[in-house]
Structure 1
Amino acid sequence: MDITSIHKAYASGQVTPEAVVNEIYDRIDAEGLQPVWIALVPREKALEQARKLQSAVQADLPLYGIPFAVKDNIDVAGIPTTAACPEYSYTPEQNATVVTRLEAAGALLIGKTNMDQFATGLVGTRTPYGICSSVFDKRYISGGSSSGSAVSVASGLVSFSLGTDTAGSGRVPAMFNNLIGLKPTRGVLSTHGVVPACRTLDCVSIFAETSSDASVVLSAARGLDGQDPYSRVPAIGAGAAPWIAAPSFRFGVPVAGTLEFYGDSHNPALYQAAVEKLVALGGQPVEFDLAPFLATAQLLYKGPWVAERYAAIESFVEQHVEAMDPTVAKIIRGAANYSAVDTFKAAYKLEELRRQTARVWNSIDVMVLPTAPRTYTIEEIGEAPIERNSHLGQYTNFVNLLDLSAVALPAGFRPDGLPFGVSLIGQAFQETALLVLADRLHRGLGATLGGSDRKLAETPALVAATPPPGCLLMAVVGAHLTGQPLNWQLTERKGSLIRTCRTSPDYKFYALKGTVPPKPGLVRVPGFEGPGIEVEVWALPEDTVGSFVDGVPQPLSIGTLRLEDGSLVKGFLVEPAATEDAIEITQLGGWRKYRESLK
């Protein structure tokens, strides 16, 4: 059910959106509504939407005829929102913003999926609508709280689904069902029309079979929403990821021996295999102290943020607590144990931890962790529902508190046939770059899609954009080259070397007089046929370019260079007047050869 395959089938005339919708509803009729679904869009209404697409141009709609599902804490006009609590149910008049945007892109909504009640849990068992299980073994949990959303994709009923993620609910079910689970930066996807869990932390998440599919959905759904006070877009340079297009990158791994798998004997080896694959992809592992991240994670359920869950449904809890799942009620009613003073103290502690953890990003570009330490059976969760739920959030709970982005991805199968998964975690607004790296790693570790036997290798790879997100490409020719005296001006701005190449032939090159340190000058001469001049192309975060340009001394300037492949980048040029008393070194083809010739 990946997007590309469906679109190819539509374009060839093999199937129509109407036929796809009918096939999905036939399967649901045969398999039963629950436990995956809480409510469906009426079949005839879904077919009507499919027929309307017949008059649209497929190429104009990135999600043309693509079936999807949403978690039942996300509003769909005319269909009750229950948040997995029937007594809480209300029928909204409007769609959540994300639903409206996806339908405008051509997606076809099938229905609303099961979940842990009020999005409180990572297990998928806290619901009166039946317990979802992993598509690989019915004895094991599906993960939650977005349980039905994950299973609907993994079982091939829809191509993608929306969940929500406050503590890991968009990532843990992805691991247990062999899926991509994208948790964007807070505010990238609007939460208008979403029943809040912790409103200051909530994210709408995306489940898909591939990173490419998740990227298409993200592009269609994102954008500032004036109806959501927490909606935001990145400032210039925010989320810059110059490392994603570089030949090498740095990835963080916890100090040896500090990962906890709660007695699981298979997952440590699979995690190590993921680390080794990242090395093969050009990654350089850097050990870091996980302790302050875990301390942050503890604040989410063992601190006053649980009171935010209470604030979301306060009147309902006070009047209908008997209608709630006992475990959910126990957690949310725990808000009474915290005072306003406790809240401020926890906020102070979070800022201390934020400062500690921020230092880690000076030495790494991305972090790789197990998505969850282990998988539990439904029976095991029943034996210790709160304790084992907390185990599942070991490596996910801190992400939203620290305003980070994350992608969970499949990382192979255990000997017992259950899937394992790892998460790539980056700084705010880096979800696009994370998806690209996740795709590379997924293709190195995985073979099949979701719960099917369809091949990942037969789907399109996700390629890094040029320039990388939030970056500008800058070509350097002299003192800023790697190993030269001004290279630090690039590295201190977190620039990444993308490639070494040459300019087009119509450039002359000069060694300028009186410059300290020695510098060259590059001048374009139309019609000149030279060897081309060696350059390094660097990706610089957009918000650092101004200070870099401001430091360029006369007679040098930053202009537009044409490279040997015809592409255009910004780079160093010189005023023609400065070449009058300079030494022409065009024939040497580059600054390094010139410097070597002086020895």
Structure 2
Amino acid sequence: MKTINLPKILTIKWLKDAYERNRLKPNEVINEIIQRVDNDREMNIWIVPPAIKHIEFYLDRLENMNPNDTPLRGIPFAIKDNIDLINIPTTAGCSKYIYTPNENATVVQRLIQAGAIPLGKTNLDQFATGLVGTRSPYGETHNALKPELISGGSSSGSAVSVARGHAVFSLGTDTAGSGRVPAGLNRLIGLKPSFGAWPTKGVVPACQSLDCVTLFTHELDDAILIDTIVRGIDKTDPWSRDIPRQLSSISILPDKICLISDPSIEFFGPYTTEYQLGWQKTIKRIQHLNIPIEYIDGHDL
């Protein structure tokens, strides 16, 4: 197998440029990803890992795609295993629940139509309930940066797959933090769109009035591009809403940040010193950005 120079931090811009300059081909990228997944199998990132037999169809169809009409042509992505991918089992982290869908979730279908390549299904806290990444019969998903630490959840495998260079981006879900906590713990961008902005048809529900499909990337530009592709109402989805994106109305920095007052802060476990240093560095970063800090008493939270 040909060895290729594929960075661990994968972005849409970098990969598209490599394709356009004929430095890489999509099948070479997929083969390298499959090798990376095999090397990381003890990380418990995947439930249905990438396999050529599942991906070949999507590679073959790239030849007939116009790059001008397919902004994600050849871009590989991972899917949390509570989001449907046609003909691939959905488990939601529970083997007793398993079913094989005969159509894609709306968000998956829109990404595929844009040329993206679905790789497989990633591990999660069972039924997307949990913020730790340890509540899965398919194994505890380990942190991408420090495997001895938790990955965060419930979209554990989706976050770690991107952080470990298995995918350019991945889909997760978020009902109460599942798409943002693992992003923070694995040094990623975690985008949770406004409720209803991305259709949830084809997603195993946790709480339908709160569920959102979310996104993990390395760069904000990638998240913005994917949002333009996926956002939009699905008339077959009763929870879908028409919510135009209004980036120009969003303030770059908040008016203030509320933090727990120092006497209320306690850290525990073998990494207490690292946590304290991280907290102090965060405060200094906020101060460097000239964002006002309001300290609050955390005992009542």
- Counterpart residue number, 2:283: 272
Q: Report if the CA contact (8 A) 2:175-2:211 is conserved.
A: yes
Q: Mapping of 1:27-46 within 5 angstroms? A: 27-32=36-41, 35-40=44-49, 42-46=51-55
With structure 1 as the length reference, what TM-score do the two structures score? 0.45
Match of 1:87 among 68, 93, 96: 96
Q: Provide the aligned C-alpha RMSD in A.
A: 2.4
With structure 2 as the length reference, what TM-score do the two structures score? 0.86
Amino acid at match of 2:255: F
Answering whether residue 180 of structure 2 is matched by residue 176 of structure 1, we say no
Alpha carbons of 1:153 and 1:250: their partners in 2 closer, same or farther (altered >3 Å)? closer
Which string of whole-angstrom CA distances, capped at 9 and with x for unpartnered residues, describes residues 175-230 of structure 1?
Answer: 11111111111111111010011111111110001111111111111110112211
CA distance, structure 2, for counterparts of residue 171 and residue 164 of structure 1: 9
Q: Report if the CA contact (8 A) 1:34-1:129 is conserved.
A: no
Which string of whole-angstrom CA distances, capped at 9 and with x for unpartnered residues, describes residues 132-170 of structure 1?
Answer: 111122210011100000010000010000000111111
Alpha carbons of 1:289 and 1:20: their partners in 2 closer, same or farther (altered >3 Å)? same
Answering whether residue 289 of structure 2 is matched by residue 285 of structure 1, we say no
- Counterpart residue number, 2:270: none
- Greater length-normalized contact order (CA 8 Å, ≥ 6 residues apart): 2
Amino acid at match of 1:287: E
Answering whether residue 10 of structure 2 is matched by residue 6 of structure 1, we say no
Amino acid at match of 2:205: P
Q: Report if the CA contact (8 A) 1:72-1:113 is conserved.
A: yes
Q: Mapping of 1:487-506 within 5 angstroms? A: none
Deviation at 1:52, TM superposition (A): 1.6
Alpha carbons of 1:143 and 1:286: their partners in 2 closer, same or farther (altered >3 Å)? closer
Deviation at 1:269, TM superposition (A): 0.9
- Counterpart residue number, 1:117: 126
Which string of whole-angstrom CA distances, capped at 9 and with x for unpartnered residues, describes residues 499-545 of structure 1?
Answer: xxxxxxxxxxxxxxxxxxxxxxxxxxxxxxxxxxxxxxxxxxxxxxx
Amino acid at match of 1:268: W
- Counterpart residue number, 2:227: 218
Structure 1: 5+ residue stretches without partners? 296-599
Deviation at 1:17, TM superposition (A): 1.2
Which structure has more strand as a fraction of its residues? 1
Amino acid at match of 1:252: K
Q: Report if the CA contact (8 A) 1:251-1:286 is conserved.
A: no
CA distance, structure 1, for counterparts of residue 82 and residue 254 of structure 2: 38
Amino acid at match of 1:133: H
Alpha carbons of 1:290 and 1:44: their partners in 2 closer, same or farther (altered >3 Å)? farther
Amino acid at match of 2:152: G
- Aligned pairs, number: 284
Deviation at 1:240, TM superposition (A): 7.1
Q: Higher Cα Rg: structure 1 or 2?
A: 1
Deviation at 1:115, TM superposition (A): 0.3
CA distance, structure 1, for counterparts of residue 77 and residue 158 of structure 2: 9
Q: Report if the CA contact (8 A) 1:36-1:149 is conserved.
A: yes
- Counterpart residue number, 1:152: 161
Q: Report if the CA contact (8 A) 1:261-1:268 is conserved.
A: no
Deviation at 1:56, TM superposition (A): 1.9
CA distance, structure 2, for counterparts of residue 239 and residue 53 of structure 1: 32
SS in 2 for 1:38: strand
Amino acid at match of 2:256: G
Which structure has more helix as a fraction of its residues? 1
Answering whether residue 261 of structure 2 is matched by residue 257 of structure 1, we say yes
Amino acid at match of 2:292: P
CA distance, structure 1, for counterparts of residue 105 and residue 89 of structure 2: 13
CA distance, structure 2, for counterparts of residue 69 and residue 41 of structure 1: 9
CA distance, structure 2, for counterparts of residue 290 and residue 82 of structure 1: 42
Q: Report if the CA contact (8 A) 1:146-1:164 is conserved.
A: yes
Q: Report if the CA contact (8 A) 1:22-1:47 is conserved.
A: no
- Counterpart residue number, 1:105: 114
CA distance, structure 2, for counterparts of residue 290 and residue 184 of structure 1: 30
Alpha carbons of 1:257 and 1:195: their partners in 2 closer, same or farther (altered >3 Å)? same
Report % sequence identity: 44
Alpha carbons of 1:184 and 1:228: their partners in 2 closer, same or farther (altered >3 Å)? same
CA distance, structure 2, for counterparts of residue 25 and residue 33 of structure 1: 14
SS in 2 for 1:110: strand
Match of 1:242 among 249, 254, 258: 249
Q: Report if the CA contact (8 A) 1:160-1:206 is conserved.
A: yes
Alpha carbons of 1:64 and 1:33: their partners in 2 closer, same or farther (altered >3 Å)? farther
Alpha carbons of 1:59 and 1:86: their partners in 2 closer, same or farther (altered >3 Å)? same
- Counterpart residue number, 1:75: 84
Which string of whole-angstrom CA distances, capped at 9 and with x for unpartnered residues, describes residues 315-344 of structure 1?
Answer: xxxxxxxxxxxxxxxxxxxxxxxxxxxxxx
Amino acid at match of 1:175: G
SS in 2 for 1:134: coil
Which string of whole-angstrom CA distances, capped at 9 and with x for unpartnered residues, describes residues 421-449 of structure 1?
Answer: xxxxxxxxxxxxxxxxxxxxxxxxxxxxx
Q: Report if the CA contact (8 A) 2:80-2:122 is conserved.
A: yes
CA distance, structure 2, for counterparts of residue 259 and residue 231 of structure 1: 44
Q: Report if the CA contact (8 A) 2:261-2:296 is conserved.
A: no
- Counterpart residue number, 1:96: 105
Deviation at 1:239, TM superposition (A): 5.5
Structure 2: 5+ residue stretches without partners? 1-9, 268-274
CA distance, structure 2, for counterparts of residue 164 and residue 87 of structure 1: 21
Deviation at 1:77, TM superposition (A): 1.1
Deviation at 1:266, TM superposition (A): 2.1
